[in-house]
């Protein structure tokens, strides 16, 4: 008999973690991770390119393996765990969502910038038609006042979303800001509330616990912290902490520990930690997936990647504007050259 779960966890390492390894997941890796997550009784496993369905491109980063192969492979080894996919309208299409559903995806997470929920209506509607559990995913939630966040959450609810998420894409929110946002959504939105954190300011766990205190029941985690920037709330640690608090997740802690140590750790070329670049992401409020792009541009042009990220933060550049990273880097390099020539 399945225990009642107080909190439902979505494991995002096979999507958000794609950023950390430059979208190089193989079918074998995805199968091993998904199978282990199924055995650990994790209820939802998100699988797709880091930028969602159809994200594989020169702008966002080319995948080593077609994501639909990865989705199908994960679904093939999961009977109880449900496969989730992320879709950003304007990147992923309605046909991509249909294909993911046909391959076994049971949850659609429709993601927009925090002020642009109106572009999600058709995709949320289609996900519902397909019989998928549907999430409204409000990214970069630190960039809008609480009132705006509530307005956008209510729009997603009106389109049919079963759950509305506060998404701290930059890892920039402080605990009191998470509290304000979750409280407001709980008061004004009638569906379940979720929280997705990043650890760029070392606050992912604290922010997640605050979200839970205020009534969030859907929580994202990434095993071994495998995610963009400094990663997400670390799933195996979260399960342990919630168990200490008497909060039921239904997830097997030992099996999550073993998965983290034996399967996921070898996938990482370097350990997930708060580096100077990931720290700047949170400090400047920059989309976590920009880190690798900024590092590459900085290396090519001989400048400091932190300068790129700080400038992107000043310009309030958001996901989908990755082309701005190279433009900003070129401007900084030009100014540096001009200064040297004086």
Over residues 79-137, the pLDDT tens digits come to 999 999 999 999 999 999 999 999 999 999 999 999 999 999 999 999 999 999 999 99
Q: How many domains does the chain have?
A: 2
179 is in an annotated binding site: no
Instruction: Using the 3D structure, point to which of 211, 232, 267 is the last residue of a domain.
Output: 267
- 178 & 293 share domain: no
Q: CA–CA separation, 156 vs 94, rounded Å?
A: 17
Is residue 280 in some structural domain?
no
- List all residues 6 or more positions away from 160 whose beta carbon is below 8 Å from its beta carbon: 124, 125, 127, 128, 134
pLDDT digits (tens, 9 = 90+) for 226-277: 999 999 999 999 999 999 999 999 999 999 999 999 999 999 988 899 999 9
CATH number at residue 311: 1.10.8.60
The pLDDT of 274-282, averaged and rounded, is: 95
Q: How big, in percent rounded to 5, are the helix, strand and coil portions of the chain?
A: 50, 15, 35
Cβ proximity of 146 and 171 under 8 Å: no
Mean pLDDT of 314-322: 85
Greater pLDDT, 53 or 4: 53
Question: Is 1's pLDDT higher than 60?
Answer: no
Specify whether 45 is located in the same domain as 192: yes
- 296 is annotated as contributing to ligand binding: no
Distance from chain centroid for Cα 220: 8
- Which domain range does residue 94 map to? 8-267
- Does residue 333 surpass a pLDDT of 80? yes
Contacts of 258 (CB under 8 A, 6+ apart): 36
User: Domain check: are 164 and 61 in the same one?
Assistant: yes
Same domain, 311 and 204: no
Kindly state the average pLDDT of the residues 186-209: 98
Check whether residue 220 and residue 323 sit in a common domain.
Answer: no
305 and 216 in one domain? no
Question: For residues 161 and 154, what is the distance between their CA atoms, to the nearest angstrom?
Answer: 9
Indicate if 78 and 214 belong to the same structural domain: yes
Same domain, 178 and 229: yes
Which pLDDT score is estimated for 4?
A: 61
Task: Report the b/e string of 49-84 with b at 16+ CB within 10 A.
Answer: bbbbbbbbeebbbebebebbebbbbbbebbeebbbb
Q: Is residue 212 part of a domain?
A: yes
In a domain, 150, yes or no: yes
Q: Give the residue-averaged pLDDT of 63-87.
A: 97
Catalytic residue among 19, 23, 49, 293: 19
The answer to whether residue 283 sits within a structural domain is: no
What is the pTM for the complete model shown?
Answer: 0.93
pLDDT at 319: 76
* 1 within a domain of the structure (yes/no): no
In a domain, 2, yes or no: no
What is the share, in percent, of the chain residues with pLDDT greater than 70?
A: 99
User: 262 among the known binding-site residues?
Assistant: no
23 is catalytic: no
Q: Average model confidence (pLDDT) for the chain?
A: 95
Last residue of a domain, one of 267, 297, 328: 267
Say whether both 128 and 251 belong to one domain: yes
Of 172, 184, 240, 185, the C-alpha closest to 209 is 240
Chain Cα centroid distance, residue 300: 27
Give yes or no: residues 240 and 326 share one domain. no
Closest among 10, 75, 25 to 268, alpha carbons compared: 25
Owner of token pair 């839970």 = 212
* pLDDT-above-90 percentage for the chain: 87
CATH number, position 110: 3.20.20.70
Indicate the burial class of 246 (C-beta count within 10 angstroms; 0-12, 13-18, 19 or more).
exposed
Q: Which pLDDT score, from 0 to 100, does residue 5 have?
A: 78
Q: pLDDT class for 167, splitting at 50, 70, 90?
A: very high
Instruction: Determine whether the annotation assigns residue 196 to a binding site.
Output: yes
Q: Is residue 188 part of a domain?
A: yes
Based on the fold, state whether residues 22 and 83 are members of the same structural domain.
yes
Residue 277 counted as domain residue: no
Mean pLDDT over residues 294-309, rounded? 93
- Determine whether the annotation assigns residue 169 to a binding site: yes
pLDDT confidence of residue 2: 41
Mean pLDDT across 176-188: 98
Judgement on whether residues 151 and 88 belong to the same structural domain of the protein: yes
- Of 224, 228, 160, 153, the residue nearest 194 (C-alpha): 153
End-of-domain residue from the set 267, 301, 318: 267
What average pLDDT does this structure show over 47-57? 92
Tell whether 109 is in a known binding site: no
């Amino acid at each position: 008999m399945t225990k009642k779960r107080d909190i439902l966890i979505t494991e995002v390492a096979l999507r958000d973690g794609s950023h950390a390894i430059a979208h190089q997941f193989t079918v074998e890796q995805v199968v091993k991770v998904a199978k282990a997550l199924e055995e650990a009784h994790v209820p939802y496993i998100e699988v797709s390119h880091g930028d969602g369905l159809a994200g594989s491109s020169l702008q966002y980063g080319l995948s080593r393996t077609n994501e639909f192969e990865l989705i199908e492979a994960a679904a093939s080894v999961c009977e109880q765990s449900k496969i989730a996919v992320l879709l950003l309208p304007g990147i992923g299409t309605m046909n991509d969502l249909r294909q993911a559903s046909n391959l076994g995806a049971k949850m659609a997470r429709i993601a927009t910038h925090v002020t642009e929920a109106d572009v999600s209506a058709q995709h949320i509607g289609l996900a519902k038609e397909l019989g998928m559990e549907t999430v409204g995913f409000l990214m970069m939630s630190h960039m809008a006042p609480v009132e705006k966040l509530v307005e956008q959450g209510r729009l997603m609810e009106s389109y049919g979303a079963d759950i509305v998420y506060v998404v701290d894409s930059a890892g920039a929110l402080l605990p009191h800001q998470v509290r304000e946002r979750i409280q407001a959504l709980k008061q004004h939105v009638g569906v379940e509330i979720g929280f997705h954190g990043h650890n760029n300011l070392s606050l992912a766990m604290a922010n997640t616990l605050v979200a839970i205190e205020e009534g969030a029941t859907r929580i994202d985690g990434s095993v071994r912290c495998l995610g963009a920037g400094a990663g997400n709330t670390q799933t195996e640690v979260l399960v342990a902490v919630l168990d200490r608090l008497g909060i039921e997740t239904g997830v097997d802690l030992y099996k999550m520990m073993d998965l983290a140590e034996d399967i996921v750790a070898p996938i990482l070329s370097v350990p997930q930690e708060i580096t100077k670049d990931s720290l700047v992401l949170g400090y400047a409020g920059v989309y976590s997936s920009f880190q690798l792009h900024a590092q590459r541009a900085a290396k090519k042009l001989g400048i400091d990647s932190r300068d790129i990220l700080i400038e992107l933060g000043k310009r309030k550049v958001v996901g989908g504007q990755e082309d701005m990273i190279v433009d900003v880097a070129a401007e900084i390099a030009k100014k540096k050259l001009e200064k040297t020539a004086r």
